[in-house]
Structures are given as C-alpha cells and as structure tokens.
Amino acid sequence: MNTRLNLLILAFFVCLVGPAFSQDNGGADKKEESKDVEEEPRVFMKSFTGRFNEDRVAYTVTAGETFLKDDKGEDTASIFTVAYTKDNTSNPASRPVTFVFNGGPGSASLWLHMGVFGPKRVVVPSDGQDAGAAPYLIEDNPLSILDVTDLVFIDPVGTGYSRTLGDAKGKDFWGLREDAMSVAEFMRIYLTKNGRWNSPKYVAGESYGTTRAAQLVNELQRTFTGVALNGVIMVSAILDFHAAEFAMGNTLPYISVLPTYAATAWYHDAVTNKPASLETFVEEARQFALNDYSVALLKGSRLTADEKEVIVEKLARFTGLSETYIRQTNLQVGDFRFMKQLLRDRSLSVGRFDSRYTGKDFDDAGEYFDNDASAYAIDAAFVTAVNDYLTRVLEVDFTQRYKVLDREPGRNWNWSVRDGGWPSYVNVAPHVGRGMRENKDLRAFFANGYYDLATPFFATENAVAANGIDPDRVVMEYYEAGHMMYTHKPSLEKLAADVRTFILDGNR
C-alpha cells in the first residue's frame, strides 16, 4: 500500500498505562527479582448524573486498562478504554452496549468520544471557521446516546494510552486482521467480565474505524467467537479501498468523488446558475457519474472528440472548474488537485476532511495545499478536550502522551487480505453482506457528509450496492458537513437523533 493511500485513509476519528513495578534490593539479584513482579491493569472509576435526550441517567465511568494475553498466558497488550454504564440496570439483556472507535489507522477514539457520543463534548465553530486556541468550551452533551445504550470507547494498540506489553511488538497488532483480532478479543473479555454476553451489541466506527467494524463482523461472527452483532454504525465509511486510489488506469475514484465535488462547488458558490437545492444538484451529479461519466472514462482514448466535449462541459458545470482545466486533466481531476484548484482565483484551498473549510497557502500557484484547513482548524480543540477530561475530570494520572493520531501504526500497517496467492486490494464490504446473510438481525447505519472529500459518500453507496449487503437492512443518512459532521451543530443534532433511532428500532 503506497504512502499516498496511507494519507488518503488517515481520518479523524474512533486509554491507560501504568509504570512497571520493580523491587530494587541492589546486588546481582535485582534483575531476577524484577521478573517476578507483574504489572497490573490500572482502573479509574467515577459516578455522575446527566440528562440525555431529556432522560436523567445516573452512570459510572470506568477509564482503565485491559490486558490481552497470548496462548501461554503472557501479557501482550494493554487496551485503554473509557466505558460508560447506566447504574441500577436490572436486566442487562435489555440494555444495549456499543463499542466505539475511530480510525487512522493510528487514531484514538477522542473524535467520536468528545464530538458526539460521549456525555461531554468540545464546542467548535459550526460554520467551518478556525477554533483558535484555548480555552475551549467543554460542556455537558445532552445529545449523547447514553440514554439508550452503554458506551465503551476503545483505543487500539498504539493509540491513546494503549500499548504493547512484554515481548510483543506493534506489528503484532498493526494490520487489517491483526487489529480486528485484538479488538475482538478485548470485546470478548469485556462481555465476560461485565456479564454482558446477552446484551444487544453494536460497534460504531469512523473512517478507518468503519473498515475495522466491517472486519470485526467477520472476526466476531465467523470464528466461533459467538458474538452476533445487532448493528454496525459507520460514520464516514471507507470499505472498498479501490475507490480511494487515484492512479492511472483506475477510474473508480474519479467517479466516486464527483458528487462531492459538486456539493463543494455548490457550497462555495462556484457553480454557474446555482440550483437552489443542494440535494437536487448532488443527485444530478450522481446520475451523471453513474452513467455518462463512467462510460466516458471506460472508453478512454476511444471517446470521440464530440463525445469528449459533452463530458467536458458537464464536468465543468458539476465541479466549478474551467473547461480548459478539465481538458488539461484528461477528464480526471484528482482530489488534491481539486482542493487547490476550485478557489485558486480567491487565493484559497478547500479542506479535505470537510470542504466547507478554506485555508490560505504560502504559494497560490502550487498544485496542492500546504495543509488541510479542516484538520488544523479543530485538532487542538479536540486534543485539549480529551486530555483535560481524562486528567482533570476523570483524574487519570498518567503523564505519558495520549497518542491522538500517531503515524507509526499507519506506516507499518499490514494491508494483506490473504495469505499467499495473487495480490489484492482491500475491500471489507463483503464481510457486512455475508454477516447479514448469516445473522438475520444484523443491520447497518451509514452517516455520510456531503462535504467529505476523504471518504466520499458516493463511494460508500457504490460499495454497499455491489457487495451483497441487504438494502432493506441499511439506513443511509446524509449531513451538510464533512468527515466529522458533528462539528456542524445541525448535523450533530441530526446524527445523534439518527443513531438513537437506529438503536431503538433494533431493540423493539
């Protein structure tokens, strides 16, 4: 998997380590004695009361470590989680539990935790503006779904405070299957320790976290683990990575991203004769991409001059780019080129995670932006919020760095989908389809941002349509924001309500 694709799948979005204890008696037996002292998981607990969706809920927060072991009983990893459980639940079988994580790979769960689902959230500007510097507003989150489900926020190995133990190495956990196996093992331990095997179970992921969620369907339901999921919640999904690789000869990414280009051009008033309705314009772009544009790209050099001019004219209308530029790109505008080119005449570039955001680059003539404005506008707010919450509110007393979006896992990720044989690209969507065929109660929820250039919504629609996923058990929702649509207050409110409804509908 090349470096560019690793950058493409980096997304935001869904933790405790203790010191190694040793007995120092001096002399030659110091090293020998230290081997006999085993490190123990550390746990921090607090009780709170909050009001969520108008329901008053007393709950316990458990922030701490869970140790994974190998077949010899040796500790291999410490998984840090923050769990929220409603107090005085008489029948755990009636109370769902939802396991939440972000993506990267290499991202901790702070984005979904402090952005939408947790009982506290950090407030950032709703209109795509820079959040600036501290102090930030960290407030009670009445939109949290804690009224309908317990929540367990998971930081996989190499993220947050989670880490390897003993002789284990990061590469033992950094991979498509390795990662899912470790998260599945944590889930099994959690269900056992907390008596939750008979509870309705959901997994919720964002960005690469949706890849993990789909892989978990396979890991949990096909290996006699016995964990049949009630639902998967996918925020800004990436399932078929073929749609993410802008490379010569691969036409799928250009088709998949076009409706998002149209939405972005519409938002920034770069469309000639701009339609009043975003949804109507996006649907026109969707149909053009699915029909005329896909056929034109398949024809390639076999396209006649007249046919090509028709496509050029329509692409210019949907993208807001000039017909000259469209011709120069041979009808194929890559995502990073689009981000720089759309507003070049205004000396602005648009964000990747959320194209509502704009940034000013040092060089207006460059081909790519200096940095993603939708990332640097909010990252300090979220990083501050999770560190303040863990250390000051929950009183987690670790002093090592909470790894928010660490590049090391992503750089060393094992993308192999099979042992031996021909090379293959990653497509985990079939796991969801098969999971539905083998579990009549499995349902899927997809949250899509119209302005998300990192994981375009049309790519998600195409992956769902092509991989045996039962459309009758799919909920597909759209939001007028980007990858982290919860940074936009109306989208935050809609997302929380949509997910709450999805869980309630699955437990009726």
Amino acid at 271: V
- Residues 214, 216, 221, 226: is their CA dihedral positive or negative? negative
pLDDT confidence bin for 25, thresholds 50/70/90 = very low
The vertex-375 CA angle with 374 and 376, nearest 5°, equals 105
Q: What is the phi-psi region of residue 471: left when phi exceeds 0, alpha when psi lies from -120 to 50, beta otherwise? A: alpha
pLDDT band of residue 1 (cuts 50, 70, 90) is very low
Token code pair at residue 333: 């505008």
Q: How far apart are CA 386 and CA 381, in angstroms?
A: 9
Task: Quote the pLDDT of residue 224.
Answer: 78
Cis peptide before 105 (omega within 30 of 0): yes
pLDDT, tens digit (0-9, with 9 covering 90-100), for 76-113: 999 999 999 999 988 888 899 999 999 999 999 999 99
Mean pLDDT lowest among 27-31, 38-42, 58-62? 27-31
Q: Which token pair is 451? A: 């302005």
> CA 332 to CA 23: how far, in whole Å?
64
Give the number of other Cβ atoms within 10 Å of residue 402's Cβ: 20
Q: Looking at the domain covering 3-242+379-506, what would its CATH class be?
A: alpha beta
Token digits for 319?
Answer: 């993208």
Residue 507, pLDDT score: 81
232-245 pLDDT tens trace: 999 999 999 999 99
Burial of 207 from C-beta contacts in 10 A (0-12 / 13-18 / 19+): buried
> Strand pairing of 231-237 and 201-207?
parallel
457-466 helix and 252-267 helix, angle to the nearest 10 degrees? 140
Residue 478 has pLDDT above 50, yes or no: yes
Task: Give per-residue pLDDT as tens, 51-73.
Answer: 999 999 999 999 999 999 999 99
pLDDT of residue 34: 39
Phi, psi of 269 (to 5 degrees): 55, 40
For CATH 3.40.50.1820, the residue range(s) in the chain are: 3-242+379-506
Paired tokens of 469: 């996923």
